[in-house]
Structure 1
């Protein structure tokens, strides 16, 4: 299996096949939110130190998406032709469930317009490939996870601006055309460039792969620092409300994603993967777009989501693994041995 791709939500991690690789994947999922949480805390305490970082957000996101392209291979896309149904179910659920959930949560909590638009924009973005590592740890279908993330990422230049205009546009103006062009620049072109470099310079890319996790971690930490430093004031006044919105958005995304897969009778591994793909978002992209096209405050939900969904994903994966372990020790006749979520 090819390495798991890198996005603003996780460093690239090769599909783990040994105990050492599994420990590495767990470390990535655990350490990454701690690093960006530390960066965010520093930005809150000394916001003036980082006020000049705003223009660097989009280039940093482009670098990370280039890293994603470097880690993708032809088999990742071949799965789409071999097993189109679960891929389509996951991608449709991604772009239906999360945007509408964001809109409903913003309305239910009575969020201010900028924060409401930011929550909705997180829901309109494609899946983040932290989901690929979490799908592995949860004993999900990793190949399906990579395929879903790749397809949703490639569809983002079209669907993200349209959905944002429809839902977030109720709270503040959204320039969908300019946003689409930015997503092409930030996401699509870097991914395609990475794919081309991997295709024509595979030996060079193989030597660079070990460095990509640290590049991605550093880049997304800087993105979060830039976003938080521009929103330090609102963090103290509405930070708890935003956290509640993020937790609801992420958790309900898991539940409804799993339910959608179960409705179509996908196997357990695919249900887990779909839940993770729907619940985990490319929130770094959301933060960057919000800061550029909405307001600095609107970028705050994306920054907080970047931290939270890594934590919740690791917890969900641990729960499923423990459940499987209990099922494995049950007798064959026990219901627990044949039924689990």
Structure 2
């Protein structure tokens, strides 16, 4: 794939890593047989663009990466597994048109829209990233007052006190102290509220420091918390943990499946179409390759907790 290889040559990373990204994409494409029934329409969406000369370069690549995420995981989704994973997680919460859910973390409107459309819930979205916040506000506008999109600061988390019936946190600990966020969530929830939290944590086997540092730079995040620290913080805040599930195998399998499906479509589209969004594609490819490798090696873990607020 000449267009992809040319774009990979521009990456500010070691040659072996660039080659590994290319190998992942090309090898994954060889394993494609047929699209998953959960693939949705994203594979048929127009190819993303990296933005023109009048657009801020960083924002242009950010928007391009969001567009690639739409193709990979489904419109508005930022998690491997897409809407199926969102349904699996949110299905644990007893939502209804009479409940309000606090949503934090990795979402571009897909999870929030699903909670409203499928479960009828009122959703208070708190998004730290201004580009994502703008995108989410546009996507959720058709739901009117059932969706609110607000900023939040992971360094000083605070939400409307005692207001929300339940909470869904998708990698919300990025940049936040586990103790501070746990206390803020507890303060925002009603007694008996349920919390589902999905989070990257440090693994049992430390990986190569350069790979971990590169992944954190691409994600724009700090060192993930330790599992025991995160769980202790939730318990001290008043949450009773019911389930702690290692979702890393499912997460890793979804990464390969979605990249395989998308690369098959890109091969059909051809190199000229691919070049238009190559910078965003390469950034996404390297990020997900590194995440997959770090999880497979045990350097990173991926946990799902289900808890109830005791007080």
Give the TM-score category using the shorter length. Answer: under 0.3
Q: TM-score, normalised by structure 2?
A: 0.26
Q: Which structure has more helix as a fraction of its residues?
A: 1
Which structure has more strand as a fraction of its residues?
A: 2
Tell me the TM-score normalised to structure 1 length: 0.25
Relative contact order (alpha carbons < 8 A, sep ≥ 6): 1 or 2 greater? 1
